[in-house]
Chains A and B, each alone.
Chain A
Amino acid sequence: MSTQVNITTITPQQEALDFEVRSLDTMCVNESHMHHPWWYNFKYAAVGLIFGVVFVKAEIISWFRIQEMFRLQSFHMYGVIGTAVVVGIISVWLIKKFKVKTIHGEAIEFHPKKFNKGQIYGGLLFGLGWAVTGACPGPLFAQIGTGALVISVVVLSAIAGTWTYGYFRDKLPH
């Protein structure tokens, strides 16, 4: 099954000119050819719900846990991320090996990520921000859920940061 690429404004020619516009992140890959009612998306909300509970109960969204991680004062976060990666590697390996399909019978696809300097510079900037806020993007939303409403300011600022990157993208080294 070939993946039909459909972006309204970016033609394949433009895409070739604009390096890696798609593979720089996960957007618009693996589009389904099926047309499901919109409420089918609640299956992803269900997965997110479990994720949100774990975020809070394992204190992954705690500023204290992140500070301890970067000061090598606690194993907790290394254990969480390490276990998640091991489970993820085994899962992806099994899916590839047995060519497992989605619950709707579509093939599961993987796309190799291409290296660019953004992973170095951007990664460094992200790390700096991560240690300040004590949260990466997922936990930010969970923090608001626990009642820390001021974190909405952090989210808005993160959206502003994303927009600024998009604005200056052509001038940044990649």
Chain B
Amino acid sequence: MIEMLKQPWPWYVAGAIIGLIVPALLLLGNKHFGISANLRHACAACFPSNIKFFKYDWKKEIWNFFFVGGIFAGAIIAAQLLANPDPVVVHPELAAELKSYGITDNSNLLPAELFSLQSLFSIRGLIMLVGGGFLVGFGARYAGGCTSGHAIMGLSDLQWPSLVATIMFMVGGFAMANFILPSILKLTI
């Protein structure tokens, strides 16, 4: 049983459990599934800077910090107790493409060549970690939500603006992965 749990879980198991988070949060306390709001609450709590957008009672949203704390703890448990002993399976075409950029480490879920402290001191790593993070935070708030708030919660409630946002998430992702990211990955400095 434990051996089976250590293998990567199939999409239908993961999808069903994630889908059930929507009613779980609603039933537990009328909460709408959404994670990027935490980033806003962090701003409101730490640097409101007299910006109207951050002047609200963030303490009323404290449940969301607990939710994210749970995600963090769950990831620790999964990584410590249920870690997959095998390398991550990567599609051969992707593996070949990444190899041409000098990215070959698939022993973890994130390639160490890109996501490590050393990579912070390279141009490529700086663009990806700092630039990528900035776009995620800026874009999520501009769009009024991220994958959880729009693609899962919004679509579950059949909200068409969420469908627009989800489509744009995918458009941006396709454009970056296929047309822009290769030029960034080519940087070896």
Contacts and interface: CB of A to CB of B under 8 A. Distances in A.
Contact of A53 (B43, B77, B106, B138): B77
Interface in B103-143: 106, 108-111, 114-117, 119-120, 127-143
Interface in B135-182: 135-162, 164-178, 180-181
Interface in B1-41: 5, 8-32, 34-41
Q: Is the interface of B mostly helix, strand, loop or mixed?
A: helix
Contacts of A58: 8-11, 13-14
B68 interface: yes
Nearest to B160: A115
A122 B140 contact: yes
A128 B82 contact: no
A50 B114 CA distance: 28
A16 interface: no
A167 to B, nearest CB: 6
A165 B60 CA distance: 22
Given A68-B94, A76-B11, A131-B176, A122 B29 contact: no
Nearest to A76: B11
Interface string A133-157: 1111110111111111111011111
B69 interface: yes
B156 A91 contact: yes
Interface in A23-66: 23-32, 38, 41-64, 66
9 contacts: A50-B70, A54-B74, A69-B173, A92-B22, A107-B30, A121-B142, A124-B139, A129-B131, A129-B137
Top 3 nearest A-B pairs (CB, nearest first) are: A127-B172, A52-B74, A48-B70
Interface of B: 5, 8-32, 34-43, 47, 49, 51-57, 60-64, 66-79, 82, 84, 88, 90-91, 93-94, 106, 108-111, 114-117, 119-120, 127-162, 164-178, 180-181, 184
